[in-house]
Every structure is written in structure tokens, then in C-alpha cells.
Amino acid sequence: MKTHVGEIRNRNGRAWPLLGRVWQIVGLLGAGMLVQPGYADYISVGSTTARPGGKAQVPVSASASADLAGANAALVFDPGVFLAPTVSYGGLLTPSHVLSSNSPVAGQFHVVAKGFLRTVAFTGRAGTVFNLSLDVSSAVPPGTIYPIRFAPPGPGNVAASGLSNLSGNALAHVLSSGYIAITENAPVQASNVSK
């Protein structure tokens, strides 16, 4: 069974030429070869501070040159430091959108945001898609910084990220990772507060 350039085969031998092309584009983006000067579509993981034993709230934002209808991110972090990842809607999403997430292994978290129907656009072309919430281990010493990165592409992994327009077409984009700095001076984040 011959595999052509830009083609990936699954376990059953079925060819996935488009997926192969996506991996080629991801490789070129990683090498900075497809990024033109000027405006670039992107997905960005924010940076924040948190206390040992506290909760870190990290915004994940996007910006695009076209109306957005979908976004996804596969994020990795230190599972010994950050526990119980959850997500909440960002400003670009409405109740007409689905926000789905799963953690296939400790330290990896996949998130997909899209409309119930493909024709439901995000509320804008730039802003916060979702907020990632992570519990911080109480054993983590202040003064340490931990990255929140996009998962590296590879066999068996989902794409590190994706943006799509209203036609369902993928938008080429760049990635920007973030971090969480552990400090005693981080603001306390209230949760489960009744009115």
C-alpha cells in the first residue's frame, strides 16, 4: 500500500489526502513560512496568575479576517500542577453555540466551539472564545511559571487548533501559547457565591 506525499492512511488503509495537506500546512505554519506580514488570523491562550490551591482562569481568544463559525483547541499542561479542567463560554459565543470538551489523558484538554447549525456565526471576528478553568495544586511553590501550550500534532492526535468560517472552510492561523504564574499575590477568585 503506497502512501503519497501529503496523504495519511488510517489503520484500515483508507487514505486521507486532505488531512495530509492539513499536516503540511501546520508544519509550514510552525516554520513561519505561511505567515504574511500584516494581519494574521490567530488563536491565543492567555496568561494569568494563580495562588497555590487556587483556581486559574485562562481566556482562549481568536481573531479572524472572516466571520467565524467554529474553533477548536487541543491544549497541554502539567497534570501534576493543574487539575480538573473545565470551560465556560467566552464573549464570542451565544446560547446558539455548543461548547464541548474532553480530557483524553491527564494534562491534555480538547475544546470545540461551534454553532448548532453551521450558519450561526460567532458574535464577532475577534475576542474570547472560551475560558479555561484549572484547579492549582496546593503543593506548587509560588514563583513558578507553567506553560499552557497547544498539543503537538502527530499520529493519533487531533489538530492542535482550528478556525472555520461560515462555509465550513478551515482558516489558516497562527498559535500563541500562554502561561500561569504561581504567586501568593494572585487575586482570589470567588466561586459558588450565592446572591
Cα–Cα distance measured from residue 32 to residue 30, given in angstroms and rounded to the nearest whole number: 5
Task: Note the pLDDT tens digit of each residue in 22-61.
Answer: 344 444 344 333 444 445 899 999 999 999 999 999 999 9
Residues 91 and 50 in one domain: yes
Whether residue 191 lies inside any domain: the answer is no
Percentage above 90 pLDDT, the chain: 62
> Chain-wide mean pLDDT for the chain?
80
Residues 19 and 61 in one domain: no
pTM value? 0.74
Whether residue 193 lies inside any domain: the answer is no
Instruction: Please compute the mean of the pLDDT values over residues 87-106 and round it to a whole number.
Output: 94
Residues 42 and 29 in one domain: no
Q: Which domain holds residue 73?
A: 38-182
Whether residue 194 lies inside any domain: the answer is no
Residues 6 and 75 in one domain: no
| pLDDT value of residue 154 | 62
Residues 29 and 88 in one domain: no
Residues 126 and 169 in one domain: yes
Residues 69 and 154 in one domain: yes
Count of structural domains within the chain? 2
Residues 109 and 176 in one domain: yes
| pLDDT value of residue 159 | 79
Whether residue 189 lies inside any domain: the answer is no
Choose the most confident range, by mean pLDDT, from 2-11, 158-167, 179-188. 158-167
